[in-house]
Amino acid sequence: MRPRIVYVHGNGNKVRSELLKSQWDTALFGRDMAEASRMAYWAPVRYPEPLPDFRTDPMNGRPELIEELPAPSDLAGAEPPEEFVARTLEEARLEAGDTGLEARAGADEGALAAWLRDMTYLADTLALSGEQDEPGAELPLEALPLPRQGRTALFRLLVKHSFKDVHAYFFGGAGPAMREVVKEQLDGLDGGPLVVVGHSLGTIIAYEVLMEQAREVELLVTVGSPLAIAEVQDHLARPPAVPAGVAAWRNASDLRDLVALDHTLRPEYAPEERVTDLLVTNDSSNHHGISEYLAQHEVRAPVQRIFDGAG
């Protein structure tokens, strides 16, 4: 049986499903994989219409997108960090309240809010100090061609969407529908080697589905994942562990990725010999872009070996 791969996208709205799948295929394999790949496209759970074709995804951190966005002040680019945190948390609460779950959110969200604060302060630190090509190697601020306020707005855009979508998943009633999308894409794929690739919030959704289904997965790949963060682990349906059917798990992150503040899954997800944590360089402007993650040799090579070996 031929290998199959299921993608689970991350935070924020996306282009239509077919185009998004082709973009991931191209980044990971260099070509469209046709029926060999599937996209678990959960964006409609949160967003009524997809992004226009080929519009820059703000979650991928393209600096040119700043020209298409509201003024940085409207994105809280100059707002003090604690005010930004409080406003983002209140907006997330209001969204959860629309589903009638505000009581649960108010009781449980405190730990998750610590992640929001940590992301915000890291975002502001990066915006202030400029980027680093690798740990310890300072580059001039011009490496990201935006004024500081624009850099702050870009990073905070990632923080805001990441937190609000994760909050919606855990507290806003969106989690079951998101997981159902992944289950539907996994249906009917028994028999051949299976690879599951998740990005950002998509890693949480994929992980929880695999914990529930315990289906055989030859390789689980997570990139830019918050699964190592204690505040996120506190809200998982089951204690952290490698899903029973997962033979190998590779987790890749950039040290500057705001979403993946903790970069090591091995200490918490047993059996640790199945887990490999990788530090890679993601040079998208917010260090969280999916194409840059999928293009990394450490991410691509083990996936391609499964497909080449079956050929």
Which has more confidence, 139 or 216?
A: 216
Which has more confidence, 125 or 67?
A: 125
Q: Would you state the structure tokens that stand for residue 76, as one six-digit string?
A: 């809280």
CB 116 within 8 A of CB 159: yes
Q: Would you state the structure tokens that stand for residue 24, as one six-digit string?
A: 């991931």
CA distance 301 to 93: 41
| Interior angle at CA 100, CA 47 and CA 111, nearest 5 | 80
Which residue's structure tokens are 């185009």? 19
CB 156 within 8 A of CB 119: no
One-letter amino acid at 197 equals V
Span 241-274, pLDDT tens digits: 999 999 999 999 999 999 999 999 999 999 999 9
Please give the average per-residue pLDDT across 6-33, as a whole number.
97
The answer to whether the peptide bond before residue 271 is cis (omega within 30 degrees of 0) is yes
Q: Would you state the structure tokens that stand for residue 222, as one six-digit string?
A: 């997570």
| Interior angle at CA 141, CA 138 and CA 144, nearest 5 | 110
* Residue 72 pLDDT: 46
Which residue's structure tokens are 């999308």? 181
277 — phi, psi (to 5°)?
A: -95, 130
- Sequence-distant (6+) residues with CB within 8 A of 251 are 221, 222, 223, 225, 227, 228, 263, 265, 275, 276, 277, 278
- Sequence-distant (6+) residues with CB within 8 A of 149 are 72, 73, 77, 78
203 — phi, psi (to 5°)?
A: -70, -35
Q: Name the DSSP class of 57.
A: P
Residue 91 burial by CB count (10 A; 0-12/13-18/19+): exposed, middle or buried?
A: middle
Please give the average per-residue pLDDT across 262-290, as a whole number.
95
* Residue 96 pLDDT: 78
pLDDT band at 57 (very low <50, low <70, confident <90, very high): confident
* Single pTM value for the model: 0.90
CB 174 within 8 A of CB 45: yes
199 — phi, psi (to 5°)?
A: -125, 130
Span 134-167, pLDDT tens digits: 444 443 333 456 677 778 888 999 999 999 999 9
CB 229 within 8 A of CB 253: no
What percent of the chain is predicted at pLDDT more than 90?
Answer: 70
* Residue 146 pLDDT: 66
- Sequence-distant (6+) residues with CB within 8 A of 52 are 15
Nearest to 209 by CA among 239, 171, 246, 183: 183
- Rounded to the nearest 10 degrees, the angle between the axes of helix 148-171 and helix 110-129 is 160
